[in-house]
Structure 1
Amino acid sequence: MGSRMEARKPREPLSRERALASAIALVDAEGMVALTMRRLAAELGVEAMSLYHHLPGKAGLLDGLVDAVAAEITSAAEQAEADAPGVDWRTRLRLRFLAARTVMLRHPWAPALLSSRPTVPAGVYAYYDGILATLVDGGFSYRIAHRALHAFGSLALGFAQEVFRPDAGGEADAEAAEAAMVALAERLPHLAAMVAAETHDATDPTLGWCDSQTEFEFTLDLLFDGLERHRSSA
């Protein structure tokens, strides 16, 4: 009797934010292949057509994911800077980019999605405006700051774009991998030597073969060292 009289907890109404949070949780757990409008609707306990009021189809869903990740990056970067007031431009950017990387490591599907969308969400522009503000406040001209943005590329968003992937053909057994390495060594000796020499520590977080934390931070420091030499340029 008592349980019947207890008021039922109302179901949280469907919203764009709720749908995107559920989509992110799904993709974090099972990868992008699991994400469909039907599957997301099932996770939310709604009819698939209900989602279209908030996310117009798969393209709208993917754009929404990019928006959500961009907002997460901006929030993390701003918090990292707020936790270390009064530091120089280099430290501010390093904190900002490493904060963005923590978001990418939390959502390892995000780099490929960000790179594939045909348009840039407004949140990404706002994030880069903050980077420009840091550079200008640090004594850089807009001309050099613009060139810095080109040099940073996707590093500013927390990931390095892959150029060379020795595992690009998918998983192979040990015998096939060894044969591939032998063939590579015969045709491309320097690339083969690099692949053989470049092994990542098991504790070094990676987003790809060419994107470990150590490599990421090495590249940041290299870029920052170069920028410092041009800080007083017009």
Structure 2
Amino acid sequence: MRSFAALHRAGNPLLLPNVWDVAGARALAEAGFAAVGTTSLGVAASHGLPDGEGAAVDETLRLVSRLAALPVHVTADLERGSVEAAVAAAAAGAAGVNIEDGLGDAAAHARLVRDVKREVPELFVNARTDTHWLRRGDPDEALRRCRLYRDAGADGVFVPGMTAPREIAMVVEALEVPVNVLYSPDGPRVGELAALGVGRVSLGSLLFRAALAAAVATAAAVRRDEDVPGGLPSYQDVNG
């Protein structure tokens, strides 16, 4: 199996589905995906917790320890993160972590990246900046923060919410580490992102939200005495 880092290839990016449970991760592994990430929204919401507040870190670490038994690489979304959480994720079997700056102090986030790489140098650290997620988007500020995190030792950088091809190309061309973008149904397709040199495309909470919509739609179809979608996994498939 290729190393997790080797899956990040400009022109042939890693398509990373994000999961919140073992069954979904197993199904994705069987479908040929080489790696999965956790989704902070999916993990938090499925436990009745809020996202974005670090409330589900323990649940994420427990999930990682279960996912580690599958034949895929696992990367953990630790939200703001901490050295302790990153070390615990590595011990649980994670090949990588995602830590976000929340548009806080960029220098402090760079120190966190440096400290994590010092403690667990083998861990792939994907350093996220929220310049395009928590506000309208400033490509120059995104690039400044990405450079800081790269210089601190980040193995990759992540700018969720950045969908303009020109901005994506600018960041890719300015950095020597893989650039991660969040797939958006309204943004560039994977082929276009590959042509821009992106090294990783994450699905974020997309699968979790799609699963919620499908569950409600199926229940509503039964209530209306309509047919439910075919091709569903059987009980035996899931129970394995």
State TM-score, norm by structure 1.
Answer: 0.26
Larger radius of gyration: 1
More strand by share: 2
**Whose helix proportion is higher, 1 or 2?**
1
